[in-house]
């Protein structure tokens, strides 16, 4: 079985948020429930101030702290699914400990105050146990893997678009949108990226494009000191997270 990994080249990323939008459309997430987001950071001060941005999916860590803390095994790392970390919505009790333990802030408890008004949950009330029922819903649904529109009271997260990736032909190494026979299996954020800053493939295969990029262009993992060992690598300048700095006091 492959070990699915993602590479994001920050020298190519323009911070356009197409990936964020594609993810939200593909997975029917609510505003604020950003399984994929592009985060902006300011670093330094004039005359050397920088603006940085980091596209941020779930890191699908090799050693995921969210999995260790979950008291019910609702959150689990599925080695038979390429090492993707899933949430079983039938087991999640909504204790939110995984959200506390995730160093990357990529878990969401959508049963909260809406980020934007009007509240989409009121406009499109949920049916069949879902928190809401959008008019154009992705038919793929697998609550054991946290795929679909979640019910209330559970945690949701990026699945590396497993409903697409899992349909790739056996032995596929690179899921590249430029290869016509592969493009349907590519995660939405990768497929839609206009400057082709994202790559997706098998980290266990030495010939994969993702491994070559990591090796050739010095791929790094964010917050590697946490020991979580993400399966998402970043290339290019600015692949780091500036230390938190509060707003200057008036």
Partner 1 sequence: MNQQNILKGPAGLGLLVLSAIVLVVSFGYAFMNLSSQGHASFNTSSTLPWGQPIATYLYFALASSGLGMIASLPLVFGFKQFYPVVKRAIFLAFVILVSGMAVLAMELGHVFRMLWVIPFNMQIQSAMFWMGVFYVADLIFLLWKLQTLEKGEWDSKTSKQVGIGSFLAVLLASGNLALIFGMMSMRPFWFDGLLPIYFYLTAVASGLAALVFFIYLAHGFSRENMSSTLQRLLEGSLPKLFAAVLGGTLLFIAVRAITGLYTNNPEIYVVWRDYLFASSTYQASLWLGIVLPFVLMMMVNLRNNASTQVLVSILVFGGLFAERFFFVVGGQVVPLFKGTWEWNLIQYTPSATEWSLTIMGSALLFTLYVLGERMMNLSAEPPAIVASPAPGAGVTASA
Least distance between partner 1 and beta carbon 105 (Å): 4
Q: Which is nearer to partner 1, 196 or 223 (CB)?
A: 223
The residue from 54, 120, 197, 203 that contacts partner 1 (CB under 8 A) is: 54
Site for partner 1 in 131-190 (CB under 8 A): 152-154
Based on DSSP, count helices (H) and strands (E) in the chain, helices before strands: 7, 7
How far is the C-alpha of 208 from the C-alpha of 87, rounded, in Å?
28
Q: Which is nearer to partner 1, 11 or 40 (CB)?
A: 40
Q: Does 39 bind partner 1 (CB under 8 A)?
A: yes
The residue from 4, 35, 86, 104 that contacts partner 1 (CB under 8 A) is: 104
Peptide bond into 111 cis (omega under 30): no
Residue that the structure tokens 């994001």 belong to: 8
Q: Does 234 bind partner 1 (CB under 8 A)?
A: no
Specify the pairing of strand 232-235 against strand 4-9.
parallel
How far is the C-alpha of 62 from the C-alpha of 227, rounded, in Å?
9
Least distance between partner 1 and beta carbon 209 (Å): 27
How far is the C-alpha of 222 from the C-alpha of 14, rounded, in Å?
19
Nearest CA among 227, 182, 237 for reference residue 209: 182
The residue from 1, 42, 79, 178 that contacts partner 1 (CB under 8 A) is: 42
Least distance between partner 1 and beta carbon 191 (Å): 24
Structure tokens, 55: 């596209």
Interface ranges with partner 1 (CB under 8 A): 32-33, 37, 39-42, 53-54, 56, 65, 68-74, 91-97, 99-114, 152-154, 223, 226, 241, 243-247, 249
């Amino acid at each position: 079985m492959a070990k699915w990994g993602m590479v994001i080249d920050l020298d190519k990323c323009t911070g356009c948020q197409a990936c964020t939008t594609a993810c939200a459309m593909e997975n029917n997430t609510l505003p604020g429930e950003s399984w994929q987001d592009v985060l902006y950071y300011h670093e330094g001060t004039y005359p050397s101030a920088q603006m940085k941005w980091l596209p941020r999916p779930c890191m699908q860590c090799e050693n995921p702290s969210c999995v260790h803390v979950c008291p019910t095994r609702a959150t689990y790392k599925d080695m038979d699914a390429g090492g993707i970390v899933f949430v079983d919505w039938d087991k999640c009790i909504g204790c939110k400990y995984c959200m506390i333990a995730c160093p990357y802030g990529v878990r969401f408890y959508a049963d909260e105050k809406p980020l934007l008004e009007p509240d989409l949950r009121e406009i499109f009330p949920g049916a069949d146990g879902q928190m809401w029922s959008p008019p154009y819903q992705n038919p793929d649904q697998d609550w054991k893997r946290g795929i679909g529109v979640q019910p209330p009271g559970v945690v949701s997260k990026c699945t590396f678009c497993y409903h697409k990736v899992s349909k790739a032909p056996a032995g596929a190494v690179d899921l590249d949108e430029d290869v016509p026979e592969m493009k349907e299996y590519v995660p939405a954020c990768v497929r839609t990226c206009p400057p082709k800053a994202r790559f997706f493939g098998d980290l266990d295969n030495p010939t994969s494009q993702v491994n070559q990029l990591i090796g050739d262009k010095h791929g790094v993992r964010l917050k590697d000191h946490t020991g979580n060992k993400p399966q998402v690598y970043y290339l290019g300048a600015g692949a780091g997270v500036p230390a938190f700095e509060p707003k200057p006091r008036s």
